[in-house]
Amino acid sequence: MKSIVEKPWGSFQVLEKGSKYQVKKLVVNSGAKLSLQRHKHRSEHWIIAEGEGEITIDNKIIQMKENETIFVPKGSKHRINNNSKATLIIIELWYGDELDENDIERFEDIYRRI
């Protein structure tokens, strides 16, 4: 079993990693949200596995629930917000030439990680 990495908003676990892709399980706590961010080297695909959340991609805000998917293009500003009372679980697929946790440009962060 892969190790779980704790974050201020919840946790993630890398499930699989290849040369151009990485699959992660994100657990977003009730009331938590990730930073408004973008990536230069990867796109992302998100599948809502459990719960519901508010997804921001550029200037669009979308309410999503279980079994729905969304594509986050490389270079777009995006955020996940769990404003529900239940835990939100997302399966996230990164795709790109560089798969690095440091490929994050933050614009807003309630946890002051900018």
| pTM given for the model | 0.92
pLDDT tens-digit profile of 53-71?
999 999 999 999 999 999 9
* In-domain check, residue 113: no
- Whether 114 is covered by a domain: the verdict is no
pLDDT of residue 67: 98
Res 1: pLDDT: 57
**Residues 100, 30: Cα–Cα separation, whole Å:** 27
* Statement: residue 50 has pLDDT above 80: yes
Tens-digit pLDDT profile for residues 87-107: 999 999 999 998 988 899 999
In a domain, 40, yes or no: yes
Q: How far apart are CA 28 and CA 35, in angstroms?
A: 12
Is residue 101 situated within a structural domain? yes
User: How far is Cα 13 from Cα 88, in angstroms, rounded to an integer?
Assistant: 14
Q: Please indicate, yes or no, if residue 22 is contained in any of the structural domains.
A: yes
Q: Is residue 72 part of a domain?
A: yes
Residue 69 lies in a domain: yes
Q: What is the pLDDT of residue 33?
A: 96
CATH number for position 60:
2.60.120.10
Element (H, E) at 40: none
Domain that holds residue 54: 4-108
- Give the mean pLDDT of the chain: 95
**Structural domains counted in the chain:** 1
Amino acid 100: pLDDT: 87
pLDDT attached to residue 95: 97
